[in-house]
Chains A and B, each alone.
Chain A
């Protein structure tokens, strides 16, 4: 029990605080930020499944996010249907798209795979912004607010708990990937695909599955995000910026760790919200400051804590325990 508590201490603290937030705070802006942190954290966790755990680094996950966002918005506006049905459609489309992208990962390795994912998201951007008859083109889609759970027109408190449920679910899924047989096998594929194959792991199938799962999880959050924010803009939902954001939060927090994406989301989301609030009046010069901060944070993390914030916590804990490591003579990198 104590082991369980220690291993999940950070996650329990984060989700516990989020659960208590609506009871303690009534400020809409703060609650809005809590929802954002949870949703972005869940999105980073979704990215982590394909890119962290399976090692198939995607810089095009905005594609799946956009598919989810557009599905929810179009179901609400064009077909007068529940965004939940839109979410379902978004998941189905993303699974298909994820299978294609996942298949590509068997042909293209490393940077070539990442480039092809960018291209994929850009193609969807062109489609969404030009297909005026269906998507309303570059004007985007305002999502109508219809109160109720079925129509996903919720107040801030309800949003906190919905986002929390999704975040906890994604966290638990990652914990499963940490411990289970398939998690070990994914780690093998990530570290060395040829060696994994020789050890009986069907690496190609496993990679496709990871990308498909990651795509579906991303689409779910895309739908929720569209309903939460109330507007879908193709140049935002399919942007490379967004894809980079998922990657950045996960890497800063700790890739291939369950809590990492949420730590990264807390840091990046609160930083960005703060900067936006502080510098919003200053239109000249400071509008892009958050990008400078992103870049600086990334450089610092890669230089000093390449395993991310989650790894930093583990390192401090290990030092406190001072577990002796067996000395290895002549160890080389």
Chain B
């Protein structure tokens, strides 16, 4: 089976700093891949390269057989890959419904049909009571949800979630974990960046670990958590002891 997304030795440098170095990864349809690593490991940069915000200095990004290396984000979104932002970027002065409608308009040309579509997505994401609320009036937990809803409305085949669980209260966290799980069960392929290891261990089928821009481990959660380099670079001894 050919991969839905294939990264081939992707490198991205900023001046003298190599943020992502020679990363190769494959994601197949139906996967839920987690990406972890310390701050500054290059996780978000990798997302930026995949989604088209940055063109890589070396290597290729192939989406479902199309070489999308260097394409702008809007073109990549049209091909079925979109992402959320770690620092949420709601359309602050617009209502939640309008925010999501803009996402739907990537697939639907009629505004009326897009609004109907957006209402359905809002319902799925549990934002229905806030449809008429201005996005900037939402608390952070709901803004993260809006970020997911808006991306979903573009009907992606592959969705990249950048720390949608960070900074949430335990109940908000539970809600969004359920949402991600439900989307995955419905057949969506996801790549998830997260720092919350407990959530990640339960959620992801596979975990990739970045350190100093390099992929240092990849595999099922249990295997990765036991990997010596991962423990040294990121998890620390206490995590291993706690898990055991």
Of B52, B82, B105, B114, the most chain A CB neighbours within 10 A belong to: B105
| 1/0 contact string of A201-234 vs chain B (CB within 8 Å) | 1111000000000000000000000000000000
Q: Which of A69-77, A90-98, A189-197, A271-279 contacts B (4 or more CB under 8 A)?
A: A189-197
B209 within 8 A of A: no
- A residues contacting the other copy or chain, number (CB 8 A): 28
Are B93 and A198 within 8 A (Cβ)? no
A332 adjacent to chain B (CB < 8 Å)? yes
Known: A181-B105, A328-B138. A198 touches B111 (CB 8 A): no
CB closest chain-B residue, reference A329: B139
Q: Is the CB of A199 within 8 A of B102?
A: yes
CB pair A201 B132 closer than 8 Å = no
Distance in Å from the Cβ of A86 to the closest Cβ of chain B?
Answer: 38
* Residue pair B137, A194 in contact (C-beta under 8 Å): no
Q: A187-B98, A194-B53, A331-B138 are in contact. Are A199 and B82 (CB under 8 A)?
A: yes
Interface residues of B in 73-109 (CB under 8 A from A): 73-75, 77-78, 82-83, 85, 89-94, 98, 101-103, 105-106, 109
Q: Tell whether A83 is near chain B: CB-to-CB under 8 Å.
A: no
Q: Does B72 contact A (CB under 8 A)?
A: yes
B contact residues, total (Cβ < 8 Å): 42
Taking a contact as CB atoms under 8 Å apart, the answer to whether A332 and B140 are in contact is yes
Chain B residues contacting A332 (CB-CB under 8 Å) are 139-140
Residue of A nearest to B137 (CB): A331
| Smallest beta-carbon distance B104→chain A, Å | 9
B74 x A203 contact (CB < 8 A): yes
Q: In the complex, what residue of chain B is closest to A324 when comparing beta carbons?
A: B132
Q: Assess A326 versus B74: contact at CB under 8 Å? Given A184-B98, A191-B91, A199-B106.
A: no
A329 to B172, CA, bound (A): 13
Partner of B94, one of A181, A187, A200: A187
User: Whole-angstrom distance from the CB of A198 to the nearest CB of chain B?
Assistant: 5
**CB of A284 closer than 8 Å to a CB of B:** no
Determine if B150 is an interface residue (Cβ-Cβ < 8 Å).
Answer: yes
The answer for the CA separation of A5 and B110 in the assembled complex, in Å, is 23
Interface: A330 (CB within 8 A): yes
Give the CA-CA distance A201 to B111 in the complex, in Å: 15
Asked whether any CB of chain B lies closer than 8 Å to the CB of A68, the reply is no
CB-CB under 8 A from B106, the residues of chain A are: 199-201
Closest-CB distance, A310 to chain B (whole angstroms): 14
Partner of A192, one of B74, B90, B103: B90
Interface presence of B154 (CB below 8 A): yes
Chain B, residues 130-169, CB within 8 Å of chain A (1/0): the string is 1011001111101000000011011000000000000000
Q: Is the CB of A202 within 8 A of B139?
A: no
Considering residues A194, A200, A329, A330, which has the most beta carbons from chain B within 10 angstroms of its beta carbon? Answer: A200
Q: Given contacts A179-B111, A181-B109, A326-B132, are A196 and B102 in contact (CB under 8 A)?
A: yes
Q: Tell me, in angstroms, the Cα distance from A194 to B82 when the chains sit together.
A: 12
Cβ-defined contact, B114 with A325, below 8 A: no
- Top 8 nearest A-B pairs (CB, nearest first) are A200-B106, A191-B91, A200-B77, A195-B89, A197-B73, A192-B89, A188-B102, A330-B139
Q: Is B129 an interface residue (CB 8 A)?
A: yes
**Residues of chain B at the chain A interface (Cβ within 8 Å):** 51-53, 72-75, 77-78, 82-83, 85, 89-94, 98, 101-103, 105-106, 109-111, 114, 129-130, 132-133, 136-140, 142, 150-151, 153-154
What are the residues of chain B within 8 A of A199 when measuring CB–CB?
74, 77, 82, 102-103, 106, 150-151, 153-154
Least Cβ distance of B18 to chain A in Å?
Answer: 23
Q: Which residues of B contact A200 (CB under 8 A)?
A: 74, 77-78, 82, 103, 105-106, 154
Q: Report the separation of the CA atoms of residues A200 and B114 in the bound assembly, to the nearest whole angstrom.
A: 14
| CB neighbours of B153 from chain A (8 A) | 199
Residues of B contacting A325 with CB < 8 Å? 132-133
CB-CB under 8 A from A280, the residues of chain B are: none
A180 interface residue per 8 A CB criterion:
yes
When A187-B94, A187-B98, A199-B103 are in contact, do A181 and B72 touch as well, CB less than 8 Å? no
A/B interface sample: 11 pairs, CB < 8 A: A181-B105, A181-B111, A181-B114, A187-B98, A191-B90, A192-B89, A194-B85, A197-B52, A198-B77, A204-B72, A329-B139
Residue of B72, B91, B132, B136 ringed by the most chain A CB atoms within 10 A = B91
Give every chain A residue within 8 A of B103 (Cβ-Cβ). 199-200
Contact A184 B133 (CB under 8 A): no
Contact present for B133 and A202 (CB under 8 Å)? no
Q: Is the beta-carbon distance between A195 and B91 smaller than 8 angstroms?
A: yes
How distant is A256 from chain B, measured CB to nearest CB, in Å? 9
Select from chain B the residue with minimum beta-carbon distance to A193.
Answer: B89
Within 8 A of B (CB), among A281-333: 325-326, 328-333
State whether A184 touches B101 (Cβ < 8 A): yes
